[in-house]
A and B are shown apart, each in its own frame.
Chain A
Amino acid sequence: MSDFREVNIAELRHLVSERALSGETMLLNMGPQHPSTHGVLRLLLELDGEIIINCIPDIGYLHTGIEKNVEAKPYAQSEVMVDRLDYLNPLGNNLVYCLAVEKLCELDVPLRAQVIRVILAELTRINSHLVWMGTSALDLAAMSTFLYTMRERENILDIFEMCAGQRMMTTFIRPGGLWRDVPVEFEAAVREFIKILPKRIDEYESLLTNNPLFLDRTKGIGLISAEDCTRWAIGGPIARASGVKYDLRKARPYSGYEQYQFDLPTRTEGDIFARYIVRVEEMRQSIKIIQQAIDLLPLGPTRSNNRKFVPPPRSELGTSMEALIHHFKLWTEGYAPPKGAVYAAIESPRGELGVYMESDGSPKPYRCHFRTPSFTNLQIMPLLTHAHFVADVVGIIGSIDIVLGDTDR
């Protein structure tokens, strides 16, 4: 391990001001090893004293080449890597991947599977927002919130473990339905969880919402307007905190979201505090959706009966020759969708998560591109941090809610 290359200022000359070149302002690296960058993010800050003049994000430290790997694996195997994209939203990643494959193959999804998908996707959203709330409050020196939010997150992970046998990288949602039906305890566990959560959210709010120290660090900081959100392609809670009333669950519904009643919490301030309020309110709306979905939960199959794409149930293998052939074909060769390209998107906890998937008629995806919300959202760092203090950068990164696995893919 010998070669360390010094970064030449000439490479960044077009990004920094003249004052930096003459040595009047200071260039300072924040990260990649920094506890409040939520992973490995490097920010090159140009500072005038303690005021930020420019902020240049540098990403790629967590690049795992998922898009390249997906091209070399059959559709069924590729899905496993998709969990690792946004590790706080693994089921959402599965869902969007499956929606793309289903669109490509024109697969049907049974009603029960759709409802369970919605429940799991909303639990994942709550999970992600809980982690966000804990960590971003921790960055602003509110230690105890983290401990409480992790306690509730544990319950969600227990539910995932109950369904899939895995706590985070579940790969539970499969093209054409689910891996298997949920266990009988699932319904009771979800009902129990959504019964206690509203009180717990009130508890977190009592720690933060009226806390003067928290308000000082969040109000009026990291402002972005609604027009800028649209220009910079920002979606999700950041845009809704700036007054853009747009949510894919309402605008372009998938998995039957059109049948659930819920509100879109919006604010118009566009600062860190507005994003905090929007996310807290979103958790309450998610509970509302889960409540409706669990009341609705119909009985029936959880995967499509289209045997050309979806493996037959294990029980049929001993008695049916066709089932055995399908099983063998699907697990050795895989399935080949028709030639074409589709784009599928869902509302992830961070914004629009999309997949562009192209098939050339072979059992492996020809191209699979993930349009990840963290990648887009991180782009506005220079806009948000301009003329703020160094200490505010920490709060702003927290409020964008980045997941570096999602950014770097």
Chain B
Amino acid sequence: MLESLKPAVIALQNEFGAEVVEFRDEVSLIIQPEKNIEALQALRDRFGFNFLIDVTAVDYWPQETPRFHVLYHVLALDTNALLRLRVPLNGNGPSLRTCEGVWPSANWYEREIFDMFGIRFDGHSDMRRIIMPFEWEGHPLRKDYPLGYEEVEFTFNFEEINQRKLHPKI
């Protein structure tokens, strides 16, 4: 672990009960969802992590509970220390407090997570879909969402497949 990361990691362990996971010199801290904003606020104000690189999510359905992990990648521009926060979330339609108040750049990332995973962010200023069309049903990056494919059309089954399409020809 980098020397510059240590104070932040120890403080988060003591104050927020964070669990440390290390893999390939990268440090991940597992934080409970009730404390996500406080932890991010502490990282920004006390340990100089002033740059929110990325917010994303992972779906572990069906093999693991809690089902979702929301990940925050934060960076300290001065020391180049990079830290990952993992927030496990239970349930199929979970919600989490938004970190838009800490970093405004989280706005679109959280919209993307809502769009792709169906995780709602409480207190978000603009909780609409961002990438998929607004009338879209389902959340594509969930593991229970099928990848989808185009059926191969031949002359003998053209009509049958055509009828099933969202916008049939003729």
Identify the A interface with B (CB < 8 A): 1-3, 5, 11, 14-15, 59-60, 63, 65, 67-69, 72, 103-104, 106, 230-234, 244, 246, 251-252, 340-343, 345, 352, 354, 356, 358, 366-367, 369, 371, 375-376, 379, 408-409
Residue contact A69 to B147, C-beta cutoff 8 Å: yes
Residue contact A65 to B140, C-beta cutoff 8 Å: yes
User: Which of B4-12, B30-38, B88-96, B129-137 is found at the contact surface with chain A?
Assistant: B129-137
Residue contact A371 to B53, C-beta cutoff 8 Å: yes
**In whole angstroms, how far apart are the Cα atoms of A341 and B59 in the complex?**
14
Residue contact B104 to A232, C-beta cutoff 8 Å: yes
The 6 closest A-B pairs by CB, nearest first: A233-B105, A60-B131, A371-B54, A340-B23, A369-B56, A232-B105
Residue contact A354 to B103, C-beta cutoff 8 Å: no
Is B161's beta carbon under 8 Å from chain A?
no
- Contacts A68-B141, A231-B103, A342-B26 hold; do A354 and B130 have CB atoms under 8 A apart? no
Q: Which of B117-140 contact A (CB under 8 A)?
A: 125-126, 128-135, 140
**In whole angstroms, how far apart are the Cα atoms of A63 and B56 in the complex?**
17
Is B39's beta carbon under 8 Å from chain A?
no
Residue contact B77 to A230, C-beta cutoff 8 Å: yes
Q: Return the chain A residue nearest B108 by Cβ.
A: A379
Residue contact A251 to B80, C-beta cutoff 8 Å: yes
**In whole angstroms, how far apart are the Cα atoms of A371 and B106 in the complex?**
12
B99 to chain A, nearest CB (A): 12
**In whole angstroms, how far apart are the Cα atoms of A3 and B168 in the complex?**
12
Residue contact A354 to B54, C-beta cutoff 8 Å: yes
B100 to chain A, nearest CB (A): 11
Is B24's beta carbon under 8 Å from chain A?
yes
**In whole angstroms, how far apart are the Cα atoms of A3 and B50 in the complex?**
46
Is B164's beta carbon under 8 Å from chain A?
no
Q: Please indicate the chain B residues that have their CB under 8 angstroms from the CB of A340 in the complex.
A: 23-24
Q: Please indicate the chain A residues that have their CB under 8 angstroms from the CB of B59 in the complex.
A: 367
Q: Please indicate the chain B residues that have their CB under 8 angstroms from the CB of A371 in the complex.
A: 53-54, 56, 73
Residue contact B141 to A67, C-beta cutoff 8 Å: yes
**In whole angstroms, how far apart are the Cα atoms of A252 and B59 in the complex?**
29
Residue contact B105 to A60, C-beta cutoff 8 Å: no
Q: Which of B52, B56, B135 contacts A5 (CB 8 A)?
A: B135
**In whole angstroms, how far apart are the Cα atoms of A106 and B133 in the complex?**
40
**In whole angstroms, how far apart are the Cα atoms of A345 and B77 in the complex?**
14
Residue contact B82 to A343, C-beta cutoff 8 Å: yes
Q: Which of A14, A60, A341 contacts B125 (CB 8 A)?
A: A14
Residue contact B104 to A60, C-beta cutoff 8 Å: no
Residue contact B80 to A343, C-beta cutoff 8 Å: no
**In whole angstroms, how far apart are the Cα atoms of A354 and B153 in the complex?**
39
Residue contact B73 to A356, C-beta cutoff 8 Å: yes
Identify the B interface with A (CB < 8 A): 23-24, 26, 28, 50-54, 56, 58-59, 71, 73, 77, 80, 82, 84, 103-105, 107-108, 112, 116, 125-126, 128-135, 140-141, 145, 147, 167
Residue contact A342 to B23, C-beta cutoff 8 Å: yes
**In whole angstroms, how far apart are the Cα atoms of A366 and B105 in the complex?**
26
A249 to chain B, nearest CB (A): 12
Q: Please indicate the chain A residues that have their CB under 8 angstroms from the CB of B104 in the complex.
A: 231-232
Q: Please indicate the chain A residues that have their CB under 8 angstroms from the CB of B135 in the complex.
A: 5
Beyond the given A251-B77, A366-B58, A379-B107, could you list 18 further A-B residue pairs with CB under 8 A, ordered by the A residue number? A5-B135, A59-B130, A60-B131, A67-B116, A72-B147, A104-B24, A106-B24, A230-B51, A233-B51, A246-B77, A252-B82, A341-B23, A343-B54, A354-B54, A356-B56, A358-B58, A371-B56, A379-B105
Q: Please indicate the chain A residues that have their CB under 8 angstroms from the CB of B23 in the complex.
A: 340-342
Can you list 17 A-B pairs, Cβ within 8 angstroms, ordered by A? A11-B128, A59-B130, A65-B140, A67-B116, A69-B147, A104-B24, A230-B51, A230-B77, A233-B52, A233-B105, A251-B77, A343-B73, A366-B58, A371-B73, A379-B107, A408-B131, A409-B131
Q: Please indicate the chain A residues that have their CB under 8 angstroms from the CB of B103 in the complex.
A: 231, 233
**In whole angstroms, how far apart are the Cα atoms of A14 and B127 in the complex?**
10
Q: Return the chain A residue nearest B59 by Cβ.
A: A367
Q: Return the chain B residue nearest A250 by Cβ.
A: B80
Q: Please indicate the chain A residues that have their CB under 8 angstroms from the CB of B26 in the complex.
A: 341-343
Residue contact A14 to B24, C-beta cutoff 8 Å: no
**In whole angstroms, how far apart are the Cα atoms of A369 and B53 in the complex?**
12
Q: Return the chain B residue nearest A244 by Cβ.
A: B77
Q: Which of A2, A5, A408 contacts B167 (CB 8 A)?
A: A2
**In whole angstroms, how far apart are the Cα atoms of A60 and B112 in the complex?**
10
Q: Return the chain B residue nearest A372 by Cβ.
A: B54
**In whole angstroms, how far apart are the Cα atoms of A65 and B147 in the complex?**
9
